[in-house]
Amino acid sequence: GAVVSQHPSRVICKSGTSVKIECRSLDFQATTMFWYRQFPKQSLMLMATSNEGSKATYEQGVEKDKFLINHASLTLSTLTVTSAHPEDSSFYICSARDQRAPQPQHFGDGTRLSIL
Amino acid sequence: AQKITQTQPGMFVQEKEAVTLDCTYDTSDPSYGLFWYKQPSSGEMIFLIYQGSYDQQNATEGRYSLNFQKARKSANLVISASQLGDSAMYFCAMREGYGTGTASKLTFGTGTRLQVTL
């Protein structure tokens, strides 16, 4: 069964709306989670590393004020796309690593975000 | 320079045949891990196989095997006895170092779309 749960699986909303995506590790604690973005027919690009109890580490070119990440507990990280616009439409997917069993990273099922 | 290179944007294979998906990597870190993931059209990332840089033997998981050639920096995925359900995107990925936190992040290749035909 799934070890990482991501919710919602699909979001369609109006431009200017803020959207929150949740990523939960179901049967393990994850001090670190990762957020990726994937455009159609392209690869996964790492956006940021979510660290429990501290600030997220963003990849170059990713706007931290646009993509707010909160990792308030050992099993939950959230990504909030603030004031979303059509260019933010994409597939967002999270992953987490079980420290007890280093391999592999477990991925959520992803969130398809469509901004009208 | 690209850290992970997958040179085959698309591949076709007949059912029950074997297929090799290519992956080359570039790193100066002596400790690294190589992964293959399958992504069907529904979008989820399914872990297939892992190879550590210090592993002496090639990794195998059922019908999947990894042809690890360290000197050539290649980690090709071999799928034996292909099935229609194997049709999907396949991504090669690398993690540099064995650390925790940001050192755990994966870098992905551009992927290969595999089509299994009757």
- Res A72: pLDDT: 83
CA A113 to chain centre: 12
Rounded to an integer, the average pLDDT of B3-20 is 97
CA B66 to chain centre: 8
- Count CA within 13 A, CB hemisphere, residue A39: 6
pLDDT tens-digit series, residues B23-78: 999 999 998 999 999 999 999 999 999 999 999 999 999 999 999 999 999 999 99
Q: Please enumerate residues of B whose Cβ is less than 8 A from a Cβ of A.
A: 33, 35, 37, 42-45, 47, 50, 52, 91, 98, 100-102, 104-111
Q: Is the pLDDT of residue B100 over 60?
A: no
Hey, which residues does A51 pair with through a beta bridge? A32
CA distance A14 to chain B (A): 23
- Res B103: pLDDT: 63
- Res A58: pLDDT: 95
Closest CA to B118 of B80, B89, B83, B88: B83
Hey, are the CB atoms on B104 and A32 less than 8 Å from each other?
Answer: yes
Q: Is the pLDDT of residue B15 over 90?
A: yes
Residues 6 or more apart whose CB falls under 8 angstroms from that of B79 comprise B13, B18, B19, B20, B21, B63, B64, B86, B114
- By Cβ distance, the residue of A31, A49, A109 closest to B43 is A109
Query: How many angstroms separate the CA atoms of B80 and B24, rounded?
Result: 20
pLDDT band per the 50, 70, 90 thresholds, residue A78: very high
Query: How many angstroms separate the CA atoms of B97 and B20, rounded?
Result: 26
pLDDT tens-digit series, residues A24-40: 999 888 888 999 999 98
Query: How many angstroms separate the CA atoms of B60 and A83, rounded?
Result: 46
